[in-house]
Amino acid sequence: ISVSDLVSESFNRINAVDHQINAFLTLNEEEARNKAKALDDQVGPNSSILFGMPIGIKDNIVTKGLRTTCASQFLSNFRDPLYDATVMDKLNAENTVTIGKLNMDEFAMGSSTENSSYVKTRNPWNTDHVPGGSSGGSAAAVAAGEVFFSLGSDTGGSIRQPAAFCGVVGLKPTYGLVSRFGLVAFASSLDQIGPITRTVEDNAHLLQAIVGHDPMDSTSANVDVPTYSESLEQGVNGLRIAVPKEYLGEGVDPEVKAAVMSALKVYESLGATWEEVSLPHSKYAVAAYYLLSSSEASANLARFDGVRYGVRSEKAENMIDMFKMSRSEGFGDEVKRRIMLGTFALSSGYYDAYYKKAQKVRTLIKNDFEKIFEKFDIIVGPTTPTPAYKIGEKIDDPLTMYADDIVTSPINLAGVPGMSIPCGFSSKGLPIGLQLIGDHFDEKTLYQFAYAFE
């Protein structure tokens, strides 16, 4: 099969199903077909494994010449960043073909992709349900077969939760493993770009392509990276699993719990052992996460002022009004809510009570994980408390939606890697995700466990 055929297949599938799914915000059809044609002549025995692969990109990763909106009206006209994100440079070096940009919650704030200011993405397994978020487009496009590879970003669960809801494989790498240069920042101390794929093996290859130290990102780690695909078949015999009781407590759907328990049985049959443990500070994770992520967001989003790029209000008559009106018109409700919360938490007189306190809680959460990894190889639990819910069900109740991040947000606070793999279906036929959590820079063990289960 030629690259052109492969790319055509991708667009055929998009033409056939995306009017129902709405995974894509912008298609890159002409460019993609031209690149495919050029690649057809280059393929050879030494081509990389990702050579010519169609790939979709979350719309908060900047792409030269291809619109990047972050699903916000503010960036509806943002077509010309001065540079490609580092992950795009790396993908281009592997000769992948960018098919288009994928829908998300505005500025990655949300859990259902309903906060996109353009369109609601639907869950391919049941189009009445949400695909999860904020990387809902990235997960839905893979689940619907529009692309086999996509990139998402995860600040508090945004790769793993939509992967779970859509029945695909999603990895949030260790903080610092993948460069954030060119990822539009939401909460810089938590954000990571990561791969979403159909299979575990594909996931390992896509991660391999995007990792590595980047001098353009001061938080990028300079560490030796193993060949992830080599660990896939190593099995889990003799490895020790920790199962945090807080992750299977109140609020977790019985069907989700049952799916996790049967996954543990599978691991037992493969020679691993498991034990219940406690992550005692888990219960504070959601509060600390929203406090810290909103504080960072309020600072990061200050750059959207209508001056250099993005949309400028046409009604303003002076400079201050221009800032105010551009922001009032450009940002949606959820983004405004986070900016207000963050600005409040950082204001003098409140800083110690909120921001500083949340930072201390973050350290306690990180310590909880470190203690577990002294004795165990991996932590296993659910990715989400419930399978995908219906579109519209939670959108008017932000706090209920925030509470669902209970099992994903601690992982970002600790900076460790987390992965979601499909582990069954609910009685309504919706996918359930198993979350695998590793020690810092130990993605290798996650892939071992994921592959053994698959």
The residues carrying an active-site annotation are 58, 134, 158
- The interface mask with ligand GLN, positions 104-143, x = CB under 6 A, is ----xxxx----------------------x---------
Alpha helices in 376-454 (DSSP H): 398-403, 409-414, 443-453
Contact between 103 and ligand GLN by CB under 6 A: the answer reads no
Bridge partners of 153, per DSSP, are 193
C-alpha R_g of the chain: 21
Residue 220 — φ and ψ, nearest 5°? -75, 135
Contact present, 445 and 377 (Cβ < 8 Å):
yes
Nearer to ligand GLN, 69 or 134 (CB): 134
Q: How many CA atoms lie within 13 A of 35 on its CB side?
A: 20
Distance from C-alpha of 53 to C-alpha of 346, rounded to nearest angstrom: 44
Tokens 């695998």: give the residue: 436
Comparing every residue's Cβ against ligand GLN, the nearest one is 158
Among 154, 246, 296, 305, binds ligand GLN (CB under 6 A): 154
Among the residue ranges 66-74, 151-159, 417-425, 426-434, the one whose residues contact ligand GLN (CB under 6 A): 151-159
Q: What DSSP character marks residue 352?
A: I
| 421 binds ligand GLN, rule: CB under 6 A | no
Write out the two tokens for 152.
Answer: 């998402």
Position among 132, 156, 342, 418 found at the interface with ligand GLN (CB under 6 A): 156
Nearer to ligand GLN, 36 or 297 (CB): 297
Q: Any contact of residue 293 with ligand GLN (CB under 6 A)? A: yes
Nearest distance in Å: CB 447, ligand GLN: 21
Phi, psi of 114 (to 5 degrees): -75, -15
How many other CB atoms are there within 10 angstroms of residue 238's CB atom? 9
Q: How far apart are CA 394 and CA 401, in angstroms?
A: 6
Least distance in angstroms from the C-beta of 315 to ligand GLN: 30
Number of residues located near ligand GLN, criterion CB under 6 A: 13
Q: Which of 157, 167, 173, 382 binds ligand GLN (CB under 6 A)?
A: 157
Residue 339 binds ligand GLN, judged by CB under 6 A: no
Please report, as ranges, the residues that interact with ligand GLN according to CB under 6 A: 108-111, 134, 154-158, 186, 293, 405
